[in-house]
Amino acid sequence: MWSQAYPGRHEHHAHGDLAHVVSGLAHRLRFPASVRRHHDHHLVLTVFVTANAALSMVLVSGVALATGEPFVFPSLGPTAFLLFYAARQPVASPRNTLIGHVVGTVSGYVALLVTGLQSAPANLTDVTWPRAGAAIISLSLTAGLMVLLRAPHPPAGATTLIISLGVLHTLPQLGIMMAGVCALVVQGVVINRLAGVDYPLWKGKSKN
């Protein structure tokens, strides 16, 4: 679809993807022609990513404030960046995002069970051998399983360490983490589809 509307664009280049998003939104929201002609200006692209990052945090922070639950956690940041900067890359697809974070969550909790730390509070200033072991187990499992499942999503590496280091470690907290990821994926689908970008509803197209 986009290859016909914008011939000559690089299909797999992240900056090109972003230009598609901005141009699509400008057209659908009936922005002036001057905006549409200069949609690939670096400043415009910067504003677009900045605005969507802010919107992501507004949404999850609002839910966190309303519920008192930990809907805001560090690995949402890099996931949001991927969803709005490299939307058409497989690594940013809903499939990779969701599977990656599920793998990270499960691996982190398994590491807590193996090391007996599932009820221990976080202590990032005085790391013990069991805590170090949990971090090693969780990140190793996450990396290996993402490769095995062909679902790489780098921010999941942060998710698993958040859990194995004890920052969030109870089952209800882990469920809330995944709810936050799901909310971010929904935002990515809505914004990118609104822009007319061929953003996958599940699995992205591989370069191979």
pLDDT, mean over the chain: 84
The whole-model pTM stands at 0.81
Q: What is the pLDDT averaged over residues 40-54?
A: 76
Q: In which band, very low, low, confident or very high, does the pLDDT at 70 lie, cut at 50, 70 and 90?
A: confident
**What pLDDT sits at residue 25?**
64
Token look-up 């007319």 returns 196
Q: Where are the domains of the chain?
A: 12-194
Backbone φ, ψ for residue 33 (5° rounding): -60, -30
More confident residue, 143 or 67: 143
Tokens of 149: 């499942």
Angle at 83 between CA 1 and CA 201, to 5 degrees: 55
The DSSP secondary structure of the chain, one letter per residue, reads -HHHHSTT--TT-HHHHHHHHHHHHHHHTT--HHHHHTTT-HHHHHHHHHHHHHHHHHHHHHHHHHH-S----TTHHHHHHHHHHSTTSGGGSHHHHHHHHHHHHHHHHHHHHHHT-TTPPP-SSS--HHHHHHHHHHHHHHHHHHHHTT---TTHHHHHHHHHTTSS-SHHHHHHHHHHHHHHHHHHHHHHHHTT----SS-PPP--
Q: In which band, very low, low, confident or very high, does the pLDDT at 35 lie, cut at 50, 70 and 90?
A: low
Backbone φ, ψ for residue 149 (5° rounding): -85, 0
Tokens of 140: 């190793």
